[in-house]
């Protein structure tokens, strides 16, 4: 019996994380105490296997070196992906401790791989072998990217520099995790209690009901804790009136308050809470100020050890963009086109506030409220009105219908163990044959990180008798059902869902057999948003909306007139939205192009300078947006946030081909062009450069014209 078989058969029954790579994970059975034993066993097994490959004296080639390397580490990375996912969606003290306990060990192993000169030499030998010329383009690319990544991982460093680089990797991983924990804990431990019903004026009833339920549950929990009697919780579960209303900074609570609450005191309280989250102006135990400083210092030192002047220069080695200067020029060019429209947007907002609402001075917590009032006045609809037609079940059916029409793919409900009752599982089928699995976790809850994201549990891997299907997680933070009322989504929520589905499809529909060329492993970061942003466009097509917009109570389909009003507001304040995203992107690039360590005061100064250059609404001096900017400091987007706008150029231009082939009956839902997108973008994953994939689909390189047109910015851009 081999060691691999021994670990698998001896422990898989008692430890779900040690299940065979071809099996689905039993999420319902995973406990925090499973994490360390599983990771330690798989690490030992993987390291021993790699050392055996290194010591093999035969000439390395694909079948006897590259492919075994892929297979050796697959179970380890699957188990670690599961642990990381659970830490993000059902975070508890025990789970966090288990995950954090293994984080340095995993980081050390990754560093050992990256710095392993013997491994590097064997990859190099394969690339220089006579057989290399006969390899497929995908296999050649995998080897070339591996050599690049070895060099970017410090493999050519020696002596003290190697030791320091290894130490840096561990410190960066732990510091990023600390940023994420501070942001999550600061949000989970913040609430605002309302006891006066008059303060709730303007809020949708289901938001009020959710706040009452949250207050009741908090009061019952406090009573149960005080009395050490769990029964007390049940006794108090139906007493929302006496408990008041409890609001949080989770989006289903925060955003409706900012949009609809007439009471400025309530809006101000939540705005201040969110704007100072995880900063020195909030709860000091969750202050991310020193974490940001440390992370920027570590990233800079990491880059300079490898011979780069700054972190951005290092990061761009693996991107479509060639340099930080190119990115900054790209962003400033977009800003120049968008800013006149943004200035027009904010002028209209202030004029409406003064003339219609009697608000001659707008505070920071007023803008979202006034914006919603202006939209209702201008287009005669509200988000809340549209929301009544967008139940989660119908929206999911509509999304799956789009996927079926465009890509000939079915998503069929599937019974499998899950980590929370909110989760649903779907088997992904192509012509009746299973090709993958999708887990959806759509509702906000305590212990779940904010935002929306997709991650991969495992990638497609086909070789010989082995056939592993991809497994993907799709996570959102939507409002959950309230009593007999289903979960209702805003139109923005639907856009988010379609966006994340694009990421999921990228992984699920890949036809690349080698995991090292899977989309999430090797597609350039500034092209990874292409499928996701592409999918957003279909939410603005009447045939799509018509298929899913049914009033949850009456069963009546949304009127075309309401949709037309929604569509006419598509570019409402698009200039303001564009410059806001450019602000984030420029800030990110500028703090990461510094060749010297910078303190938090300098970070805030750079942010303010960017706002002076780009923004049309200046936040207050005490706004600490950066302290909760997890994309940059915990989500992999450091020196990469520009990717959203970069990929938006690609996605808008790609969608314009669907527009060119649209008809009056089906709009842009063209199966022929959908198949082309599937074949040339989704199926090829990272097996070739993203620029080549785009040109294969579009027949030319990308043009920004479609993005400007879709954003309503053509007139002044021309």
Residues 401 and 538 in one domain: yes
**Two tokens at 269?**
């309280």
Q: Is residue 179 part of a domain?
A: no
> Catalytic: 541?
no
Under 8 Å between Cβ of 377 and 356: yes
Please give the backbone phi and psi of residue 482, each rounded to the nearest 5 degrees, phi first.
-120, 105
Q: What's the pLDDT at 220?
A: 86
**Two tokens at 649?**
């150029």
Half-sphere exposure (Cβ direction) of 175: Cα atoms closer than 13 Å: 20
Under 8 Å between Cβ of 502 and 535: yes
Q: How many domains does the chain have?
A: 3
| Tokens 């030992």 found at | 44
Q: What's the pLDDT at 238?
A: 42
Nearest C-alpha neighbor of 611 from the set 282, 335, 219, 367: 335
- DSSP-derived letter for residue 179 is H
Q: What's the pLDDT at 413?
A: 98
Q: Is residue 655 part of a domain?
A: yes
Q: Is residue 165 part of a domain?
A: no
**What is the spatial distance between Cα 599 and Cα 633, in angstroms, rounded to a whole number?**
15
**Two tokens at 423?**
């989760």
pLDDT single digits (tens) 396-438: 999 999 999 999 999 999 999 999 999 999 999 999 999 999 9
Residues 398 and 506 in one domain: yes
Residues 121 and 238 in one domain: no
Q: Is residue 289 part of a domain?
A: no
Q: What's the pLDDT at 231?
A: 40
Q: Is residue 680 part of a domain?
A: yes
Burial class (CB in 10 A: 0-12, 13-18, 19+), 702: buried
**What is the spatial distance between Cα 104 and Cα 171, in angstroms, rounded to a whole number?**
8
Residues 109 and 225 in one domain: no
Beta bridge partners of 468: 461
Under 8 Å between Cβ of 207 and 256: yes
Final residue in a domain of this structure, among 226, 257, 276: 276
Count of residues in the chain: 718
Final residue in a domain of this structure, among 132, 156, 180: 156
Nearest C-alpha neighbor of 179 from the set 301, 298, 315, 294: 294
Please give the backbone phi and psi of residue 344, each rounded to the nearest 5 degrees, phi first.
-65, -40
- Give me the residues of the chain with pLDDT under 70, please: 1-13, 224-242, 715-718
Under 8 Å between Cβ of 22 and 88: no
CATH number at 108 reads 1.10.1370.40
Q: What's the pLDDT at 717?
A: 40
Q: What's the pLDDT at 221?
A: 84
Give the dihedral sign, CA 625/627/630/636. positive
DSSP-H helix ranges across 431-559: 491-508, 519-522, 530-536, 542-548
Catalytic-labelled residue, pool 181, 392, 457, 500: 500
Q: Is residue 359 part of a domain?
A: no
**What is the spatial distance between Cα 74 and Cα 191, in angstroms, rounded to a whole number?**
42
**What is the spatial distance between Cα 708 and Cα 571, in angstroms, rounded to a whole number?**
11
Nearest C-alpha neighbor of 461 from the set 521, 379, 389: 521
Q: What's the pLDDT at 3?
A: 37
Q: What's the pLDDT at 713?
A: 86
Residues 406 and 259 in one domain: no
Q: Is residue 12 part of a domain?
A: yes
Q: What's the pLDDT at 242?
A: 57
Range of the structural domain that residue 15 is part of: 3-156
DSSP string across 215-268: HHHHHHHHHHHHHT-THHHHHTTT-HHHH-EEE-SSHHHHHHHHHH---HHHHH
Q: What's the pLDDT at 464?
A: 81
Under 8 Å between Cβ of 510 and 66: no
Q: What's the pLDDT at 227?
A: 53
**Two tokens at 469?**
């299907």
Residues 110 and 198 in one domain: no
Residues 77 and 203 in one domain: no
Q: Is residue 603 part of a domain?
A: no
Q: What's the pLDDT at 435?
A: 98
Residues 139 and 261 in one domain: no
Final residue in a domain of this structure, among 241, 276, 311: 276
pLDDT single digits (tens) 590-616: 999 999 999 999 999 999 999 999 999
Residues 108 and 213 in one domain: no
Residues 202 and 99 in one domain: no
Chain centroid to CA 352: 35
Residues 431 and 516 in one domain: yes
| Tokens 């460093």 found at | 157
- DSSP-derived letter for residue 316 is G
Residues 407 and 468 in one domain: yes
């Amino acid at each position: 019996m081999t060691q691999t078989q021994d670990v698998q058969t001896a422990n898989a029954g008692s430890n779900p994380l040690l299940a065979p790579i071809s099996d689905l994970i039993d999420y319902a059975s995973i406990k925090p105490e499973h994490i360390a034993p599983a990771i330690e066993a798989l690490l030992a097994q993987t390291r021993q296997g790699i050392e055996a490959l290194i010591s093999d004296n035969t000439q390395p080639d694909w079948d006897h070196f590259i492919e075994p390397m892929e297979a050796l580490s697959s179970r380890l990375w699957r188990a670690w992906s599961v642990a990381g996912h659970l830490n993000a969606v059902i975070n508890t003290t025990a789970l966090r401790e288990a995950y954090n306990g293994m984080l340095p060990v995993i980081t050390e192993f990754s560093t050992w791989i990256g710095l392993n000169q013997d491994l590097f030499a064997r990859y190099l030998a394969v690339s220089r072998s006579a057989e290399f010329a006969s390899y497929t383009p995908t296999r050649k690319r995998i080897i070339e990217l591996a050599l690049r990544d070895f060099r970017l991982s410090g493999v050519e460093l020696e002596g003290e520099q190697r030791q320091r680089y290894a130490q840096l990797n561990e410190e960066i991983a732990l510091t990023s995790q600390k940023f994420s924990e501070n942001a999550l804990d600061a949000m989970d431990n913040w609430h605002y209690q309302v006891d006066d019903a008059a303060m709730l004026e303007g809020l949708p009833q289901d938001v009020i009901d959710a706040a009452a339920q949250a207050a009741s549950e908090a009061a019952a929990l406090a009573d149960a804790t005080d009395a050490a009697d769990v029964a007390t919780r049940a006794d108090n579960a139906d007493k929302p009136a006496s408990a008041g209303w409890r609001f949080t900074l989770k989006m289903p609570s925060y955003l409706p308050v900012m949009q609809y609450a007439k009471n400025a005191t309530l809006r101000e309280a939540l705005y201040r809470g969110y704007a100072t989250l995880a900063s020195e102006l909030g709860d000091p135990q969750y202050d991310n100020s020193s974490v940001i400083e440390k992370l920027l210092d570590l990233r800079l030192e990491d880059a300079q050890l490898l011979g780069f002047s700054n972190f951005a220069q290092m990061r761009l080695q693996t991107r479509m963009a060639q340099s930080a200067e190119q990115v900054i020029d790209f962003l400033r060019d977009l800003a120049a086109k968008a800013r006149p429209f943004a200035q027009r947007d904010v002028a209209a907002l202030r004029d409406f506030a003064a003339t219609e609402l009697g608000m001659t001075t707008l505070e920071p917590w007023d803008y979202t409220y006034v914006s919603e009032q202006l939209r209702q006045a201008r287009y005669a609809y509200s988000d809340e009105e549209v929301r009544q037609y967008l139940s989660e079940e119908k929206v999911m059916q509509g999304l799956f219908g789009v996927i079926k029409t465009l890509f000939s793919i079915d998503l069929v409900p599937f019974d499998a163990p899950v980590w929370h009752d909110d989760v649903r599982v779907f088997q992904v089928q192509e012509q009746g044959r299973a090709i993958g699995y999708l887990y959806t976790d759509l509702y906000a809850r305590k212990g779940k990180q904010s935002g929306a994201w997709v991650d991969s549990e495992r990638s497609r891997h086909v070789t010989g008798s082995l056939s592993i299907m991809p497994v993907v997680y799709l996570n959102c933070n939507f409002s959950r059902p309230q009593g007999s009322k289903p979960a209702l989504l805003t139109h923005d929520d639907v856009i988010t869902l379609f966006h994340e589905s694009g990421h999921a499809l990228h992984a699920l529909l890949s036809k690349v057999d080698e995991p090292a060329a899977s989309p999430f492993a090797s597609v350039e970061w500034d092209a990874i948003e292409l499928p996701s942003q592409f999918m957003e466009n279909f939410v603005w097509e009447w045939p799509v909306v018509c298929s899913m917009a049914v009033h949850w109570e009456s069963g009546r389909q949304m009127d075309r007139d309401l949709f037309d009003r929604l569509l006419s507001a598509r570019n409402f304040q698009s200039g303001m939205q564009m410059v806001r995203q450019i602000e984030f992107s420029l800030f990110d690039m500028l703090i990461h192009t510094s060749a010297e360590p910078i303190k938090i005061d300098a970070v805030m100064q750079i942010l303010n300078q960017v706002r002076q250059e780009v923004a049309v609404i200046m936040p207050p001096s005490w706004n600490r947006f950066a302290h909760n900017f997890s994309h940059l400091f915990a989500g992999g987007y450091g020196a990469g946030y520009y990717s959203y706008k970069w990929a938006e150029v690609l996605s808008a231009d790609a969608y314009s081909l669907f527009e060119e082939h649209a008809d009056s009956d089906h709009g842009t839902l063209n199966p022929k062009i959908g198949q082309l997108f599937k074949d040339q973008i989704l199926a090829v994953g990272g097996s070739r450069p993203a620029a080549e994939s785009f040109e294969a689909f579009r027949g030319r390189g990308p043009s920004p014209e479609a993005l400007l047109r879709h954003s309503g910015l053509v007139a002044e851009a021309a």
